[in-house]
Amino acid sequence: MLAFGYAQAKDLPMGIELLRDTPAALPIAGGTDIIQLLQEGVIAPSELVDINLLPLRGIEPAGEGLRIGALTRLSEIADDARVKARFPVLARALEETASPQVRNMATAAGNLLQRTRCLYFRDATVPCNKREPGSGCPAMDGENRMNAIFGGSSSCIAAYPGDMANALLVLDAELEVQGPDGGRRLAVADLHREPGDTPHLETTLRPSEIITAIHLPATPRSANSHYLKLRDRASFEWALVSVAVALETKDGEIRSARVAAGAVGTTPWRLPLVERRLERGRLDEAAAVAAAEAATHGANPRSQNAFKVKLLRAAVQRVLLMAGGLA
């Protein structure tokens, strides 16, 4: 680990100023990903700006929905009675995230900004276009079992590994962001960038911006929402495939649907074709099978991850049956 400077921000303007004045600085909150990256020599910022003192922790009502402060710990969100009752997909996704220890430390915004688990990105001794632009991508024909089948480019196929972002996609969640030029709202759907030929640029955040909150609007779908995570072991493991779904139903008919998948795309991945198929009728086994069939159009698997194509279809089918009370 190379030496870095440490500064503690006492309030939000000071945090933004510290980031602006020291451009090679990284904000640190829970630290659960950043300290791994430092230990492995994957990143070497000139300073860390500790933002834990900023008053951004807690969950409060916002209109009919909820506003989750950026520094709220994952366990606090997963255990919140309002989240469990009204946004169950989010509570479930977080219950299945990491370990109890990590959930007590990791923050809401930090979770969204966690970096890929691609083996080559995490190994500083090998080339990686995300870590060292232009150095190459050994994952293309290497150990790519965990890599993406959607949204890859010729320079990067690293999968977005998180759970919470998939749930937030189907909840139409928005972020509050503050920066040197003031505040703005940003849909979670617009936060992550596909790699293209700049895989080192992962989000649409601007220099020195800090995510301050996540807004969960109340929608006709949010309370009927479900999460399924499939992995190599039962707990404390990254997803092979995960699926979030939120449905609005009336008289047994699906009025509107949101479906998103995790660990299959280079970003959290919406499945619009599945949504459209669902929005046409009742949710029964045949409908779940037909909708799941549409989940993998456009998939581009590599040498070791073609299993994700089948697994994604199975996971979509399964979570829809769960949503319909059929499984």
Partner 1 sequence: MSRDNDVPAFEGHKPQARRLAEKALDASRAGDDTTADALFAEADRLDPEAVADVLGEDVATGQRRTSRNPAPDRDASSPEQAGIGRTAAPGQGFRTWSARGTAGAPRTPPRHPTALAIALEVNGQTHALTVDVRTTLLDALRDHLGLSGTKKGCALGQCGACTVLMDGKRVNACLTLAVMADSHPITTIEGLAEDGALHPVQQAFVEHDAFQCGYCTSGQIMSAVGLLTEGRGDSDAEIREQMSGNLCRCGAYANIVDAIRAAKEAV
Neighbour-count burial for 179-198, b at 16+ CB within 10 Å, e otherwise: beeeeeebebbebbbbbeee
Query: In sequence order, what are the beta bridge partners of 229?
Result: 242
Q: Which of residues 65-124 bind partner 1 (CB under 8 A)?
A: 75, 98-102, 104-105, 113, 115, 124
Scan residues 167-206 and list those touching partner 1 (CB under 8 A). 187, 189-194, 198, 200-206
Task: Determine which residue in the list 12, 14, 17, 52 makes contact with partner 1, applying CB under 8 A.
Answer: 52
In the window 255-274, what residues touch partner 1 (CB under 8 A)? 267-268, 270, 272-273
Phi and psi, residue 19, nearest 5°: -70, -35
Residue 190 Cβ, how far from partner 1 at the closest point, in Å? 6
**CA of 228: how far to CAs of 50, 90, 139, 306, in Å?**
34, 11, 27, 20
DSSP calls for 271-293: -HHHHHHHTTSB-SHHHHHHHHH
Nearer to partner 1, 190 or 232 (CB): 190
Instruction: Say how far apart CA 158 and CA 199 lie, in whole Å.
Output: 9
Residues within window 232-251 making contact with partner 1, judged by CB under 8 A:
234-236
Site for partner 1 in 204-223 (CB under 8 A): 204-209
| Residue 49 beta carbon to partner 1: minimum distance, rounded to whole angstroms | 8
| Residue span 20-49 as binding mask against partner 1, x where in contact by CB under 8 A, dash where not | -xxxx---x--xx--xx-xxxxxxxxxxx-
Q: Which of residues 303-322 bind partner 1 (CB under 8 A)?
A: none
**Residue 88 CB, nearest distance to partner 1 (Å)?**
18
State the angle between helix axes of 285-293 and 307-323 in degrees (0 to 180), rounded to the nearest 10: 150
We find the least distance from the C-beta atom of residue 149 to partner 1, in angstroms, to be 9
Q: Is 161 in the site for partner 1 (CB under 8 A)?
A: no
In the bound state with partner 1, the residue whose beta carbon lies nearer, of 105 and 223, is 105
State the Cα angle at 235 between 231 and 237, rounded to 5°. 55
User: Closest CB to partner 1 among 61 and 161?
Assistant: 161
> Phi-psi category of 237—alpha, beta or left, where left has phi over 0 and alpha has psi -120 to 50?
beta
Q: State in angstroms the smallest separation of the CB of 286 from partner 1.
A: 11
Q: Among candidates 240, 245, 221, 218, which has minimal Cα distance to 229?
A: 240
Closest contact distance (angstroms) between CB of 164 and partner 1 is 15
| Smaller CB separation from partner 1, 61 or 280 | 280
Nearer to partner 1, 61 or 313 (CB): 313
CA-CA distance, 87 to 222, in Å (whole number)?
5
Which phi and psi angles does 69 have, rounded to 5°?
A: -60, 145
